[in-house]
Amino acid sequence: MLDVKHDIIRGIGAFLSEAERRRAEALKSERDRRRFTACRGQLRQILASRLGISPSDVELEYGQLGKPQLSHRMPSRNLRFSVSRSGDVAVIALSTGQEVGVDIEAVLPVPEADEIAALCFSASDYESYAALGPDDRLEGFFRRWTRLEAISKGLGCGLGYPSSWDEQDWVVRSFVPKTGYLGSVVVRK
């Protein structure tokens, strides 16, 4: 949960690197600054506890399209992670060895859902989506959408980047991080 008390944010904020602090400061709203800090600080705490180091000593590096990963200078390069934030909720997925991706979204009406589905979903996904009744459409859309985003985050490419991937290469689980949200976590087989 990202909307934590100010004194907790202050404590967690001390773990952030200079660059992360600059990124937080550049955010316009105070709420967004707090949420970014809470998420990045907790990511550092979780990674640090796995690596047996202090949260402020965790070094991250970034892929070409912004995917954060542990720096090659860290003791365990085998530890992979993926982060997703939506509103006041964040999820951090960890994996040892195999690449991991996670995405969560607040389940809110998307007027252009059918167009997005036609554009982005695979043929079989679109077919099963289009067959859903009106009551199941919204959840069906977010189930497929978060799976797509989670895979693209596992690959580190982001959705706007042309890439061919096979969903069969990934183990997929859907979950509810909080009432009103849906998420997918994927791990490469």
Q: Which residue has the tokens 């009744």?
A: 133
Would you count residue 103 as binding ligand COA (CB under 6 A)?
Answer: yes
Question: CB of residue 108 vs ligand COA: minimum separation in angstroms?
Answer: 14
160 contacts ligand COA (rule: CB under 6 A): yes
Could you give the CA distance from residue 81 to residue 90 in angstroms, rounded to a whole number? 13
What is the spatial distance between Cα 123 and Cα 117, in angstroms, rounded to a whole number?
Answer: 10
39 near ligand COA (CB under 6 A): yes
Distance in angstroms (rounded) separating the CA atoms of residues 115 and 51: 44
**Does 152 engage in binding with ligand COA (CB under 6 A)?**
yes
Helices and strands in the chain, H and E counts: 6, 7
With beta carbons less than 8 A apart as the criterion, state whether 111 and 94 touch: no
Binding window for ligand COA (CB under 6 A); candidates: 49-57, 78-86, 137-145, 171-179: 78-86
Nearer to ligand COA, 75 or 161 (CB): 161
Total binding residues for ligand COA by CB under 6 A?
19
Using CB under 6 A as the binding rule, the residues of this chain from 161 to 180 that contact ligand COA are 161
In the chain the first and final C-alpha atoms are separated, in Å, by 29
Q: Which residues bind ligand COA (CB under 6 A)?
A: 36, 39-40, 65-68, 83-85, 103, 149, 152-153, 156, 158-161
